[in-house]
A and B are shown apart, each in its own frame.
Chain A
Amino acid sequence: MSHLPYVVAAWLLLVGLYGVVTSRNLVHAIICLSVAQSSTYILLLSVGFERGGTAPIFLDVPVGTKAVDPVVGALALTDIVVGATVSALLLALAVQAYKHHGSLDPERLGREQD
């Protein structure tokens, strides 16, 4: 199997992290985090991919049929749920930040506290 998916996963992670580090808008930062998170989906799926394999449903197929690994699918699905939860929560916090403090710039939030 080619290395392309791994390269893509690494690229997504780096691009996402770059976005989080340089972001001046919370919504933008949260989306960047999702981008970084999607690198794990690709990594997981490519780890379990089997060229020419079918979906892992072992009904009415001969024993020994090639299939992709069902476990990584389950892991990726769990990961997506976790990612959605985190994003939703972060966006809710961003909404609160905007409502109470009128800014989405993470650098300006709560500065006067120090």
Chain B
Amino acid sequence: MAALPVALPVLVAAILVGLAPVCPRRAADAATLATAAVVTLLCLALLVRSLDEPVVYWFGGWTPRDGIALGVAFAVDPVGAALATLAGVLATAALTFSWRIFEAVRTLHHGLMLVFLAGIVGFCLSGDLFSMFVFYELFSVAAYALAGYRTTDPGSVRGALNFAITNSVGAILLLGGIALLYGRTGALNLAQLGQSLATGPADRLVVVAFLLLMVGFFVKAAVVPFHFWLADAYALAPTVVGVLFAGVVSELGLYAVARVYWTVFSSPLAETDGLRGVMLLGAVTTALVGGVMCLLQHHLARMLAYATVSHVGLTLAGFALLGPAGAGGAVLYLVADGMIKGSLFISVGIIDHHLHDVDERRLAGRGRHLPWLAALMVAGALGLAGMPPFGTFLGKALMEEAAVETGLPWLIGLFVVVAALTSAALLRATGRVFCGLGPRGGAGTAATRSPDEAAARHPHVHATQVVPAVGLLAGAVAVGLAPGLADEVQDAAGRFTDRPAYAAAVLRGAGDLARAGAHPPLHLGGPALLATLSALLGLGLALAALLPERLPPRLRGGVARAWGPVAATLRGLHNGSIGDSVTWLVVGMSTFGGLLVLVVR
């Protein structure tokens, strides 16, 4: 049963590609969509089943003997299953959206999408480090192909090449780390690895292996400075693919960081202030760089790509607190945030489909006839800001509480600022595209086509385009409002971060983990105020960008002087060059390694 959500899409993909010459287009569409929906339901069923005890499935019946893992296992816990379900939901939404768009030959595209989904689900359910690597490569290869699907667009091809090369380097490092760990312990099963490493101290080999594995996953997660490949790859991919990229792929890297840290390394590299500091450094840099870059973009999809980077930073901050409370908040945030970004990506896809452009300057005022789309974008922006009732609010509240408990209350400031930056970028774009606000000029070939003309060319928007965007937002709200979900998440996070319990469940079948009991009620008043502050700050920034003439001239001049050099430097760094991207990877790895050596004593 646990292997079905991986096997099914691979099988359907093979059949679809085999039947490509004779299969009618609608049949292929329907089969793909149905498969994605079934995978979602299967993952949801696994999620529900794993709430009480982990679902462990040993391939070929090779169960452990005397607590030693012999075979390869899927070990499903609520966190992994939730992520797999998120991938399924996003795939279903994206395929629904593409029902009436993307008229090109699509059987191969569908095959790739299904393999991509299968890889993601396998990655989330795996309980074995090498299987994680294989699934990582499986979904990555499918992702490279999908990112470069529009081969006539040079930016898209370059993005795909940068994506593929940088991520392959990450995969090579990851495998190096796996080889070192295997050499030390003779094990590949996560639980077994953790048990073997728990008997010794953190010597050099363990630290190097940790470094290699983390960097491998940080590349996928797009943690700064491993993120330079992301914007071109995500922003120039077809919308259908972008929804999954922005919604779940980076999150998978973070999930793997957390999973591997807690199951394998948490004993030799226990949660010390030093390790926490190093991880938080990465998280804070990522959040701020992503946020500022997001604000600097005019290409709507690129904006969302950088919003992904900055929210990866926020989520990593939750995990980097190295405690169950932070991890729980991070997981909840990640799921809700994934759905919101998916919805926003679909909205951008609708804009692209109807107005044939995704640059907010050229689109200025051309979206006036689509007020409902503006509403969707504003809702998404509020979701990114972490406003209740979106699930991002609950996740952020949990993370903020964990930050205070860990003695790092300044993190709350980071959450407020970063959420404000990303929502400001989106609100600014919404104001410009749908209300025509903002200074004109620059790329001014713009509004030659009147709104009526545009409307006339596309008389109506199909429900298949709107429903998935609304549905994903509704999903994010549902995550925020579901009664008792916060407690469930905290329980799940408690088990996610409990290495001995995980090992016992996987290796000895000792399920039936002690529930943490009642959690203290969350105080949501403070976080709600902070979220409102974020949203207001975002709105203020957006208005300041749209109506600069209303600002006092001295303030305007000061901001321009301070902001200009920062913007120019950051823009210059993010030039999409493949060589630069790999250089930064090496620089980042050296820095991270140096810091690790300093803090692990």
Contacts and interface: CB of A to CB of B under 8 A. Distances in A.
Interface of A: 9, 13, 17, 20-23, 26, 29-30, 33, 36-37, 39-40, 43-44, 47-48, 71-72, 75, 78-79, 82, 85-86, 89-90, 93-94, 96-97, 99-101, 106-107, 109-110, 112-114
B179 A44 contact: yes
B179 A17 contact: no
Nearest to B586: A17
Contact of A75 (B148, B179, B577): B179
A86 B137 contact: yes
Given A40-B176, A47-B179, A93 B169 contact: no
B116 to A, nearest CB: 13
Given A71-B182, A93-B160, 12 more contacts: A20-B169, A37-B168, A40-B172, A43-B179, A96-B157, A97-B161, A106-B162, A106-B577, A106-B579, A107-B579, A109-B157, A110-B232
B158 interface: yes
Contacts of B134: 78, 82
A90 B154 CA distance: 15
Q: Give the one of B130, B151, B162 with max A CB within 10 A.
A: B151
Contacts of A22: 579
B145 interface: yes
Given A47-B179, A107-B577, A90 B165 contact: yes
Contacts, number: 126
Nearest to A42: B179
A33 B154 contact: no
Per DSSP, chain B at the interface is helix
Among A26, A43, A99: residue with most chain B CB under 10 A: A43
A99 to B, nearest CB: 8
A2 to B, nearest CB: 15
B571 to A, nearest CB: 9
B141 A89 contact: yes
Nearest to A30: B165
A101 B160 CA distance: 15
A20 B165 CA distance: 8
B144 interface: yes
Contacts of A93: 144, 148, 151, 157, 160-161, 164
B578 A97 contact: no
B39 interface: no
Nearest to B174: A40
B179 A36 contact: no
